[in-house]
Amino acid sequence: MSSSLVLHSYWRSSCSFRVRIALHLKGLSFETRPVHLVKDGGRQFDAEFTALNPMQQVPALSVVPAGGAAPTTITQSVAIMEYLEDAHPAVPLLPASHEHRAWVRQLVETVASGTQPIQNLAVIRKHAALCPEVDGAGPAWATHWITLGLDALETMANAPPPGVSAPKPGEFLAGAQPSIADCCLVPQLFNARRFEVDLQRYPTLLAVEKVCLEHPAFVAALPENQIDAEA
């Protein structure tokens, strides 16, 4: 018997959204265990969840061996997606060549370390608490950093390295097959809309998003399709 997968997730968390897409793209079944990031001050701060992830963030993926051995819990969305790629390579989410893989990971990190961490809920709250009165606090803080990140991502997508093509009509960010770069792009655009970023600046990213949202794995991973979704 193989191990089973439990995803600790919140419907609106863009980092949880990334991992849900990757799981669905690979055709892996998993149980969703919701962690409400707002209710009661945030259930990610509960002792039980903190023991799973000392960073007190979702997602966390528990790999539960058959037969009752202790589970392994992996945190950090990029680490989880790389684990899925290592452990379940049948549907690859990284290309074959070293240079092409580097390109995909560059796009991933431009979102996952270059953009999202600065606009996450904890950082927005801290910034707004320190300077509640100024222009540029709260949502404007998020809008600023998302715009910088997506500006760079749109430019990169149209200027790939030698041997890699910019996305053609109907293609994903890194070509004909979806990759972990698409798993990061779509949730970042979801965040961008929440903060009313002007997306007309990003025709290439929007074209790729459209292709993604026609794919059932992306649809299954959408926030509104989760068991903990709210109106």
Residues that bind a second copy (CB under 8 A): 53-57, 63, 69-80, 82-83, 86-87, 98-99, 101-103, 105-106, 108-110, 112-114, 116-118, 123, 126-127, 130-131, 134-137, 141, 144-145, 148-149, 151-152, 155-156, 159, 161-163
- State the nearest-atom distance from the C-beta of 229 to a second copy, in Å: 25
CB of 124 to a second copy, least distance (A): 11
Shortest Å, Cβ 159 to a second copy: 8
Please report how close the Cβ of residue 75 comes to a second copy at its closest, in angstroms.
Answer: 5
Query: What is the C-alpha separation between 103 and 179, in angstroms, rounded?
Result: 11
User: Which residues face 60 on adjacent strands?
Assistant: 8, 75
Q: What share of the chain is helix, strand, coil (3-state, %, to 5)?
A: 50, 10, 40
Q: How far apart are CA 96 and CA 85, in angstroms?
A: 12
Per the document, the length of the chain is 231
Q: Are the beta carbons of 84 and 98 closer than 8 angstroms?
A: no
Q: What are the structure tokens assigned to 38, written together?
A: 């707002």
CB 227 within 8 A of CB 32: yes
The least distance separating a second copy from the CB of residue 51, rounded to whole angstroms, comes to 8
Which residue's CB is nearer to a second copy, number 102 or number 211?
Answer: 102
What distance in Å separates the CA atoms of residue 122 and residue 37, rounded to the nearest whole number? 10
Cβ distance to a second copy smaller for residue 135 or 231: 135
Residue closer to a second copy (CB basis): 103 or 172: 103
Please, what is the minimum distance in Å from the beta carbon of residue 219 to a second copy? 26
Quote the CA–CA distance of 142 and 118 in Å, as a whole number. Answer: 7
Q: Which residues contact 159 (CB under 8 A, 6 or more apart)?
A: 166
Q: State which residue, 6 or 219, has the beta carbon closest to a second copy.
A: 6
Cα–Cα–Cα angle for 151, 155, 158, rounded to 5 degrees: 145
C-beta of 164 vs 219, nearer to a second copy: 164
92 vs 228, beta carbon nearer a second copy: 92
8 A C-beta contact, residue 44 and residue 13 = no
Q: Which two tokens stand for residue 106?
A: 């560059």
Cβ distance to a second copy smaller for residue 109 or 171: 109
Nearest approach, Cβ of 184 to a second copy (angstroms)? 11
